[in-house]
Chains A and B, each alone.
Chain A
């Protein structure tokens, strides 16, 4: 249970970090290390060079402007969770964070690291997908913005190139009046979700749903939007029949095979129950 051999680089600029990545095939980025170091201890990951981002100035900042919360690559989960300015404009972040592992892990693990690790059952990728967020990636060819819907490809696989560094995550601030909620089922608190649902509901003046966003994780090979369920809810008053329709519309999205944690049928059951619960909670918060 010790990491395999690797070379260690501790660059002080993004440019040096990118060049360390692009000149060393098999190099990997190290931020908080709360997913990568255990993977290395298990010998599941064996980087040629570890490029540690912690000495690069400016990566540990959180800013809110133009309706976007920008989270730097070295911002720890706990820092974002406890940031009162963030909580004032996007309270769902703190709620979701309570489900991310445990405080000692959140003290070290980074938000951007979690997004790049892209576990199909992880909460922060779900949140980015739910709110149409994005990440900023810097590589040898310059920087680009990758939308959440284009970022997550497969379990632990993103469209980030191997020589790119994600320097920021962008979480859009929800519109005033939007109601957001999240819930998950896990066997033990802090574990990855067996199934999790996030919802964003906006209502018209007459009480009908003007916009519904639903995202899920743990139920397939990546965090995903439940587009058919969103369509089933839009324009309705969220009566029982509408919620049932949304649950039925999600069934095809639940593709995770039976595993040691749950069967596919059980995940379908959980997803249905969570959709009803979370949509109701989000609707109650919508103004």
Chain B
């Protein structure tokens, strides 16, 4: 069987245009020259070695690649690295302390057995951290938490333990705020 070579016109003016981007990632300034079509998810994983950000569907449905962009959760697979130029990115690697002490949301996920294979977990956690850090009251009813998690898919747990973990994380966060205010 012979196969015809596909003759697909490539629109770009130059072969693979590059740009130099400077980002704040987990508190550090990084500068790289990358292809303008590089996704932020690939930038974090391949350029910076931050493989905690997972890549699932690459079209914004699964939420595994969720990171914080300027303090709010966003899909790193739907953001180009050049779009993130000059912006502040936080990944799951930023959460635990230098001694490995877990962030309250990580602690809650561990306590409540809210993960099984763990693939969706970094995206879940960054989304939850973003919600907990946002101004305004959180709806911590089951329905409210499920709404919060609606953009993150998990194929293992059936979500029940994740819902419990979010509530627990909110309690832990509240406690630490109270302690800080008291002390």
Whether A38 pairs with B59 at a CB distance below 8 angstroms is: yes
Interface of chain B, main secondary structure: loop
Residue of A nearest to B59 (CB): A38
Contacts of A8 in B (CB 8 A): 17, 19, 36, 80, 82
User: How far is B132's CA from A87's CA once the two chains are assembled, in angstroms?
Assistant: 22
User: How far is B152's CA from A188's CA once the two chains are assembled, in angstroms?
Assistant: 12
Contacts of B169 in A (CB 8 A): none
Residue of A nearest to B143 (CB): A189
Which one of B70-78, B93-101, B102-110 contacts A?
B70-78
Whether B151 pairs with A5 at a CB distance below 8 angstroms is: no
Within 8 A of A (CB), among B106-163: 127, 130-131, 136, 147-148, 150-151
A68 on the B face (CB < 8 A): no
Within 8 A of B (CB), among A87-116: 101-105, 107-108
A266 on the B face (CB < 8 A): no
Whether A48 pairs with B13 at a CB distance below 8 angstroms is: yes
User: How far is B42's CA from A48's CA once the two chains are assembled, in angstroms?
Assistant: 22
Whether A7 pairs with B12 at a CB distance below 8 angstroms is: yes
Q: How many interface residues does A have (CB within 8 Å)? A: 37
B60 on the A face (CB < 8 A): yes
Q: Mark A105-145, 1 if CB is under 8 A from B, else 0.
A: 10110000000000000000000000000000000000000
Whether B37 pairs with A6 at a CB distance below 8 angstroms is: yes
User: How far is B78's CA from A47's CA once the two chains are assembled, in angstroms?
Assistant: 16
Residue of B nearest to A101 (CB): B151
A207 on the B face (CB < 8 A): no
A52 on the B face (CB < 8 A): yes
Q: What's the least CB distance linking B111 to chain A, in Å?
A: 24
Contacts of A102 in B (CB 8 A): 63, 150-151
Whether A103 pairs with B131 at a CB distance below 8 angstroms is: yes
User: How far is B69's CA from A37's CA once the two chains are assembled, in angstroms?
Assistant: 16
Contacts of A52 in B (CB 8 A): 82-83
A34 on the B face (CB < 8 A): yes
Whether A7 pairs with B80 at a CB distance below 8 angstroms is: no
Q: What's the least CB distance linking B149 to chain A, in Å?
A: 9
Contacts of B148 in A (CB 8 A): 103
Interface of chain A, main secondary structure: loop
Known contacts A48-B12, A104-B130, A5 near B37 by CB under 8 Å: yes
Contacts of B80 in A (CB 8 A): 3, 8, 30, 33, 37, 50
A154 on the B face (CB < 8 A): no
Q: What's the least CB distance linking A86 to chain B, in Å?
A: 15
Contacts of B83 in A (CB 8 A): 30, 33, 52, 54
Contacts of A57 in B (CB 8 A): none
A67 on the B face (CB < 8 A): no
User: How far is B148's CA from A5's CA once the two chains are assembled, in angstroms?
Assistant: 35
B180 on the A face (CB < 8 A): no
User: How far is B59's CA from A105's CA once the two chains are assembled, in angstroms?
Assistant: 11
Residue of B nearest to A188 (CB): B150
Q: Mark A1-28, 1 if CB is under 8 A from B, else 0.
A: 1111111101000000000000000100
User: How far is B123's CA from A103's CA once the two chains are assembled, in angstroms?
Assistant: 13
Contacts of B26 in A (CB 8 A): none
User: How far is B66's CA from A102's CA once the two chains are assembled, in angstroms?
Assistant: 12
Residue of A nearest to B123 (CB): A104
Whether A104 pairs with B151 at a CB distance below 8 angstroms is: yes
Known contacts A104-B73, A104-B74, A108-B74, A10 near B60 by CB under 8 Å: no
Contacts of A263 in B (CB 8 A): none
> Which of B10, B74, B82, B131 is the one whose CB lies under 8 Å from A10?
B82
Within 8 A of A (CB), among B28-79: 36-37, 39, 42, 57-60, 63, 66, 69, 72-75, 77-79
B179 on the A face (CB < 8 A): no
5 contacts between A and B (CB under 8 A): A33-B80, A42-B59, A82-B136, A105-B75, A105-B78
| Minimum-distance CB pairs A-B, first 8 | A102-B151, A1-B58, A5-B12, A8-B36, A38-B59, A104-B73, A48-B11, A107-B72
Residues of B within 8 A of A (CB): 10-17, 19, 36-37, 39, 42, 57-60, 63, 66, 69, 72-75, 77-80, 82-83, 85, 127, 130-131, 136, 147-148, 150-151
